[in-house]
Amino acid sequence: MKESIILAVDGGATKTTLGIQTSGGERLFEATAAGSNYQTIGANAVIEVLSDLLQKANFATKLETIDVAIFAMAGIDTQSDFEALTHIVQQALNSTHFNINKAILENDVQAALLGLVGHQPGVLLISGTGSIALATDGNGNVVRTGGWGHRAGDEGSGYWIGRQILKAIFRAEDKLEAPTILKKLVFEKLQIDSIDQLMTWLYQADYTNAQTASLSTVLQEAVSLNDEKAISIAELAAKELFLLVKASLNKLRYKGEPFKVFLNGGILKYHPLILNSLQQLIREDFHHISLSLCDENPIESIVKRAQYALLQ
């Protein structure tokens, strides 16, 4: 029996990965390029990123027909976003000679969730630069909690943590709070030695929220040194992430049955106190939840999502 050909795109805010595999798991091509969130870099830049990856895949594999292609893209939050990305993806596809039998465009987190759970119920919580939770009842209903971006939300994320660190430093400078070792660690990371320089860094013309998110990397060292403010920030981050999970379960009218919750993102992978506190909070309120920290490459979940689509 001839194996199907799957093309999967994981289009995140910081990087975009395109992979081509057979339905049996043979890898035919994989490449990574810059991020492809059109809300951040604009439609033309995303078309360029996708076109370049598709052309490289076309040249490397010499394939003519793709049975199913899934484009899991960051930035699909509204119907207008979906329409914009539909146009962007079509423009990129026009630059190649692939003949695609079935194409799917989804929010990247939704595609990853469906790849993880298939036709079963489950929740996927992600805390990286931003934070979001998506949940499904296994019957086609998908609900979202969070993911409103750094201007209005992203609680418990790398950006949120970075902002809490900055607030702690400035409040300590104003004698409103006790000093924290976070100041020393941030200064070392940024290679600066004064509050004035921190202000200059924070309000530079080319500032991005990813820069503030990068400060979250110092939190774990401060926690390991028993800094009270750092521990407080970590514990509050865990509470905020727990609320995303709890709200998602409530939206699905969860009744206490066995349920899977998948955890992903750099904050949960590299901050043990946040992860452990979050797991404890979930287990205290939901006794039949099984928790899994995702350890596979995100593109693999997208490929699985495409494999499920082949069966539909």
Query: Looking at residue 286, what is its pLDDT?
Result: 92
CA distance 293 to 273: 14
Q: Are residues 71 and 29 in the same domain?
A: yes
pTM passes above 0.75: yes
Query: Looking at residue 140, what is its pLDDT?
Result: 80
Three-state DSSP class for residue 227: coil
Domain termination residue (choose one: 45, 74, 101): 101
Q: Which two tokens stand for residue 136?
A: 């499904």
Cα-based distances in Å from 129 to 113, 142, 217: 18, 23, 11
Annotate 9-64 with DSSP letters as a single string. EEE-SSEEEEEEEETT--EEEEEEEE---HHHH-HHHHHHHHHHHHHHHHHHH---
What contacts 87, CB < 8 A, 6 or more positions away?
A: 43
pLDDT tens digits, 239-256: 999 999 999 999 999 888
Q: Are residues 134 and 88 in the same domain?
A: no
Q: Are residues 183 and 252 in the same domain?
A: yes
Q: Are residues 187 and 127 in the same domain?
A: yes
Q: Are residues 129 and 77 in the same domain?
A: no
Nearest by Cα to 233 from 249, 245, 220, 214: 220
Q: How many CA atoms lie within 13 A of 192 on its CB side?
A: 13
What contacts 80, CB < 8 A, 6 or more positions away?
A: none
Q: Are residues 137 and 176 in the same domain?
A: yes
CA distance 269 to 216: 13
User: Could you tell me the residue range of the domain that residue 71 belongs to?
Assistant: 5-101
CA distance 143 to 78: 13
Residue 135: Cβ-neighbour burial (10 angstroms; 0-12, 13-18, 19+):
buried
Total of domains in the chain: 2
Q: Are residues 95 and 225 in the same domain?
A: no
Query: Looking at residue 1, what is its pLDDT?
Result: 58
Q: What is the CATH number of the domain that holds 136?
A: 3.30.420.40
Cα-based distances in Å from 239 to 260, 280, 286: 19, 10, 15
Three-state DSSP class for residue 84: helix
Q: Which two tokens stand for residue 193?
A: 């030695």
pLDDT averages per 10-residue partition of the chain, 312 residues: 86 88 89 88 91 93 92 88 94 90 90 88 91 89 85 88 97 96 97 96 86 94 97 98 96 88 93 97 92 84 84 70
Query: Looking at residue 207, what is its pLDDT?
Result: 83
Q: Could you tell me how far CA 212 lies from the centroid of its own chain? A: 16
pLDDT tens digits, 45-81: 999 999 999 999 999 999 989 999 999 998 888 899 9
Query: Looking at residue 95, what is its pLDDT?
Result: 86
